[in-house]
Amino acid sequence: MAVVVLPFLSVEYGLLRAFQQALMVLGIFIVIGSLAIIPGRYVYKLLFASSVAIIMMLSGIGLIPQLLGGYYPQLHLNNAGTYYDVFYTHRSEIMGIDWLQKLISSHDNLEVQSEVQTDRFAVGRVTNPGEVNLLNDIYPSLVRKNSYVYLGYSNVVLKEAAVSYNGNTILYTYPLEFLDQNKDLVYNNGGSRIYR
C-alpha cells in the first residue's frame, strides 16, 4: 500500500515489482476468489483457477507481451532490443575497457572521455583509476581535442547511442564519421573503439 500511496516509493522501487512480491502473500486470495466465482463442479473451478494462474504467470514473466509485441523485449527473453543494448556488457567492451585502463594507469594527467552505452545504466563498467576525468557524454560538440573517446558495442556495431531524458531512454544514430574525421583511432577490436 505504501508504494501506491507514496509516489516517490513507486519511482524508486517500482509498482510492478511491489505487485509481484505482494502476490506471494496475496496469491491465496486469488486462488480462493477464482474458485468462488465459478459455479458448478470442483473440476471446472480447478480448471479455471489453474488457467488464471498460468495466464498471470505468463504475463508476469513477459512472455505474453513478447509474443504479442507489447513493450520492449525483456533482457531475460532476448539477445536483442533496447534493454539488451543498454545493460549487457560484451566481451569486446571488457577487453577495450581493460586496454584503456592499463593505458591510463601507465600515464599521468590524461584526460579521458568515456562512453559505453551500458555505462549510463550499469555503474562500475569503467572504474576511475587515479585522477582521470571520466565523462559520460560524447556528443560531437562536447568531445575535447586531447581526450580519449571510448565507444562500446552499441556505438560501434549498431551505430547507436542512448540518452536518458525525464526517465525515458532515447536512442539516436551516433555520428562515427565525426570521430573518424577529427580523432585518431588507437584501438579497435570490432566491438569497441578508442579514439585519441
pLDDT in tens, 42-99: 888 888 888 888 888 887 777 777 788 766 666 666 777 777 777 778 888 888 888 8
- Angle of helix 15-37 relative to helix 42-60, nearest 10 degrees, comes to 170
Same-domain pairing of 58 and 96: no
Looking at the structure, tell me whether residues 33 and 60 fall in a common domain.
yes
| Structural domain boundaries, residue 23 | 2-71
φ, ψ (nearest 5 deg) of residue 114:
-110, 135
Number of folded domains in the chain? 2
Q: Is the pLDDT of residue 136 over 70?
A: no
In a domain, 79, yes or no: no
**Residue 136 dihedral angles phi and psi, to the nearest 5°:** -110, 25
Residues 177 and 119 in one domain: yes
**Would you state the pLDDT for residue 119?**
44
Mean pLDDT of 154-183: 83
**Number of neighbours of residue 14 by Cβ within 10 angstroms:** 13
Residue 30 falls inside a structural domain: yes
Q: Tell me if 78 is assigned to some domain.
A: no
Is there a single domain that holds both residue 104 and residue 177?
yes
> Quick one: 117 and 172 in the same domain?
yes
Band (189; pLDDT cuts 50, 70, 90): very high
Question: Are residues 178 and 132 part of one domain?
Answer: yes
pTM of the model: 0.60
